[in-house]
A and B are shown apart, each in its own frame.
Chain A
Amino acid sequence: MASIKQNLADQPLPDFRNSGVMLRSLLGVNLLALGAALVQSQGVQDSLQHFIDMAAWVQPLLLFDLALLALLGNSLQRVSAWIGRTLVLLLAAVSAMLLSALWSHLLFADGGGGQGLLRAGLLAALAAGFMLGYFALRAGALSPALVEARLQALSARIRPHFLFNSLNAVLSLIRVDPRRAETALEELADLFRALMRDHRELVPLADELALCRQYLDLEKLRLAERLHVEWDIAPNLPLDLKVPPLMVQPLLENAVYHGIEPLGDPGSIRIRLAHRADALQLDIVNPCAGGAEKQRGSHMALDNIRERLALYYDLEARLETHAVALGDGRHEYRVRIVLPCRAHWR
């Protein structure tokens, strides 16, 4: 299991299955090619021609290598970073030499023989090495951000408001319903244990959902019939999928704090989890008592989750929010998270 923590400790290979990594590789190598074209040529027009000539060579190679790396992605994550790096360099060099040989064979051109092949291999390895260096630097630059995000996660989550109100509710139960008070304290303990874990490690989706249920149980203690919860979990959901910790619970806390508490009347929170193609889709819907006015103060939790999603998944995850006016004058607030769902390979 590749955890974020280990990944950062020894600056691992980038995950080539991530579309963000692919995009960066494509752009980076093409920029290198453009630079090379500029160096080789006299004028701008000239260099454009050079670049186009080179593209016939660079693009197929690049696409082939990226596709292969994406397929290998899983195994590459398993070996140590140095072996992985060597493999990537070798792959780039060998594929470049093969392509070069194929090209000269097809065009009956003299590719410069062994010297030409070697040159192609070296150039490709150089480009690959440059990109790997860039990715390692980028991971290094982001790792303090991950630590920071973790700290933010610690402070942004669980409003003290919730803790003190829950304790107050438990106190009120001790005399009349000691058993319920016991369960409530146990749940509170579990909740805080989960909150105090190391937040860089991904957690199974099932754990995050269990945490959410415990949290909602405690809220029901205070809010009783004012809080309705509707769960809709697709049967094919990969419950062992690893997700960032505290990805869902803060959203539910927002839904209770901004949606149910100011409402006065009973209201319901709908939670839907679906598995579509290669993505996990999570929707949380709550009533919005303030009318069209946005859920104020909820941005901290949302920004925090959005940031962490970007750190874990780069461009492949997204978080969207909408305030929707319903026909009968009521308003709803909707949050949607979409995550890539291929970790069950791991």
Chain B
Amino acid sequence: MNVPAATPSLSLLVCDDEAPALARLRDLLSDIAPQLPNEIVAEADNGLHALAAIEGMRVDVALVDIRMPKMDGIELARHLSRLEHPPAVIFTTAYEVYAVQAFELNAVDYLLKPVRAWRLLEALRKVHRQAPLSAALLAQLPQGARSHLSCHERGRLLLIAVAEIVYLRADLKYVTARTRDREFLLDESLTHLEREFGGQFIRLHRGVLVARDAVSGFEKSGDGDDAETQWQAILRDLPERLPVSRRQWPLLKSFARQLSS
């Protein structure tokens, strides 16, 4: 089953934090070029750099190492899957038992390092016949909390570092992420976000999660005479106040006590 000569060459993103591993993939790709024309259009040493490197580019396949600093391979794949033309992702790994088990379970393609040329060739040939990984499937792979969220804006994929988010607010249809500088519209549910980032964020209200580090204190609003008095969270970097619901307040008391001590 030869590839027809007219097949355009595959454009590739190669991402690994170890320089020798990148070099090895380069060698192998050039070795198999006669059977399968290919071209590396971007290289990166972690997920963040990879997303920056392919900005505005169209990439057919991404070869992605799993364990990388700053943003790991599985998180990178999740952001890639949200691009307008998502590349097919093939994971490479030296020895990540849990990841490999999950790949087997979900029929995700992966290569074990040291990678062999024929395995690489096989995986790249399959790419044409395969649908790109869905976000839902990727979300099932074992991973910690993401380091970044992504959203679409005028055709571009924007990354928002989770560490920079002050609060997340659910409106009618969307969830808004507020950073110090601006707001981003996310298409994720607040419940999912709470589950994933429960350690970093705390719920103030049915519709509001606030970053624990961003709260400087709590105060009572209103005159305090009526039954309508309500607690509000004071933020470190933003002038606005966030309402605390009556239901959540008992759960927040110990957190408020930590803050004031």
Most A Cβ at <10 Å: residue of B27, B45, B69: B69
Q: What's the minimum C-beta distance from B80 to chain A, rounded to whole angstroms? A: 19
CB of A164 within 8 A of CB of B69, answer: no
CB of A173 within 8 A of CB of B20, answer: yes
Kindly state the separation between the CA atoms of A160 and B67 in the bound complex, as whole angstroms: 14
CB of A222 within 8 A of CB of B20, answer: yes
B255 within 8 A of A: no
Kindly state the separation between the CA atoms of A175 and B115 in the bound complex, as whole angstroms: 16
Within 8 A of B (CB), among A264-309: 264, 289
Instruction: Out of B27, B94, B113, name the residue touching A175 (CB < 8 Å).
Output: B27
Instruction: Out of A160, A169, A224, A264, name the residue touching B95 (CB < 8 Å).
Output: A160
Residues of B contacting A167 in the complex (Cβ-Cβ under 8 angstroms): 114
CB of B18 within 8 A of CB of A169, answer: yes
A202 within 8 A of B: no
CB of A172 within 8 A of CB of B46, answer: no
Kindly state the separation between the CA atoms of A159 and B112 in the bound complex, as whole angstroms: 15
Within 8 A of B (CB), among A310-336: none
Within 8 A of A (CB), among B21-49: 21, 23-24, 27, 45-46
Residues of A contacting B69 in the complex (Cβ-Cβ under 8 angstroms): 261-264, 289
Within 8 A of A (CB), among B124-151: none
Q: What's the minimum C-beta distance from B46 to chain A, rounded to whole angstroms? A: 6
Kindly state the separation between the CA atoms of A173 and B23 in the bound complex, as whole angstroms: 9
Kindly state the separation between the CA atoms of A169 and B23 in the bound complex, as whole angstroms: 9
Q: Which residue of A lies closest to B49 (CB)?
A: A264
Instruction: Out of B20, B23, B46, B113, name the residue touching A164 (CB < 8 Å).
Output: B113
CB of A264 within 8 A of CB of B21, answer: no
CB of A168 within 8 A of CB of B21, answer: yes
A49 within 8 A of B: no
Instruction: Out of B23, B46, B95, name the residue touching A161 (CB < 8 Å).
Output: B95
Kindly state the separation between the CA atoms of A222 and B45 in the bound complex, as whole angstroms: 13
Kindly state the separation between the CA atoms of A173 and B114 in the bound complex, as whole angstroms: 13
Within 8 A of A (CB), among B45-81: 45-46, 67, 69-70
A191 within 8 A of B: no
B194 within 8 A of A: no
Q: What's the minimum C-beta distance from B86 to chain A, rounded to whole angstroms? A: 25
CB of B67 within 8 A of CB of A171, answer: no
Q: What's the minimum C-beta distance from A176 to chain B, rounded to whole angstroms? A: 7
B17 within 8 A of A: yes
Instruction: Out of B20, B45, B67, name the residue touching A172 (CB < 8 Å).
Output: B20
CB of B114 within 8 A of CB of A171, answer: yes
CB of A172 within 8 A of CB of B21, answer: yes
Q: Which residue of B lies closest to A261 (CB)?
A: B69
Instruction: Out of B17, B96, B113, name the residue touching A168 (CB < 8 Å).
Output: B113
Q: What's the minimum C-beta distance from B16 to chain A, rounded to whole angstroms? A: 9
Q: Which residue of A lies closest to B45 (CB)?
A: A264
A86 within 8 A of B: no
Q: Which residue of A lies closest to B114 (CB)?
A: A168
A 160-185 binary contact with B (CB < 8 Å = 1; else 0): 11011101110111011000000000
Residues of B contacting A164 in the complex (Cβ-Cβ under 8 angstroms): 94-95, 112-114
A221 within 8 A of B: yes
CB of A168 within 8 A of CB of B95, answer: no
Residues of B contacting A172 in the complex (Cβ-Cβ under 8 angstroms): 20-21, 23-24, 27
Kindly state the separation between the CA atoms of A304 and B19 in the bound complex, as whole angstroms: 32
Q: Which residue of A lies closest to B24 (CB)?
A: A172
Q: What's the minimum C-beta distance from B99 to chain A, rounded to whole angstroms? A: 11
Kindly state the separation between the CA atoms of A164 and B78 in the bound complex, as whole angstroms: 26
Q: Which residue of B lies closest to A291 (CB)?
A: B163
Residues of B contacting A261 in the complex (Cβ-Cβ under 8 angstroms): 17, 67, 69
CB of A165 within 8 A of CB of B94, answer: yes
Known: A167-B114, A289-B69. A222 touches B18 (CB 8 A): yes
Known: A222-B18, A262-B69. A171 touches B24 (CB 8 A): yes
Kindly state the separation between the CA atoms of A136 and B112 in the bound complex, as whole angstroms: 50
Instruction: Out of B27, B45, B113, name the residue touching A165 (CB < 8 Å).
Output: B113
Q: What's the minimum C-beta distance from A56 to chain B, rounded to whole angstroms? A: 55
Residues of B contacting A223 in the complex (Cβ-Cβ under 8 angstroms): 18
- What are 25 pairs between A and B in contact, CB < 8 Å? A160-B95, A163-B95, A164-B112, A164-B113, A164-B114, A165-B18, A165-B94, A165-B113, A168-B94, A168-B114, A168-B115, A169-B18, A169-B24, A171-B24, A173-B20, A176-B23, A222-B18, A261-B17, A261-B67, A261-B69, A262-B69, A263-B69, A264-B17, A264-B45, A264-B46
Which 8 interchain pairs have the tightest Cβ spacing? A264-B69, A172-B24, A164-B94, A169-B20, A172-B20, A160-B95, A168-B114, A172-B23
- Beyond the given pairs A161-B96, A264-B45, 20 more chain A to chain B contacts, judged by CB atoms under 8 angstroms and listed by A's residue number, are A159-B95, A164-B94, A164-B112, A164-B114, A165-B94, A165-B113, A167-B114, A168-B24, A168-B114, A168-B115, A169-B18, A171-B114, A172-B23, A173-B20, A175-B27, A221-B20, A223-B18, A224-B19, A261-B67, A289-B69
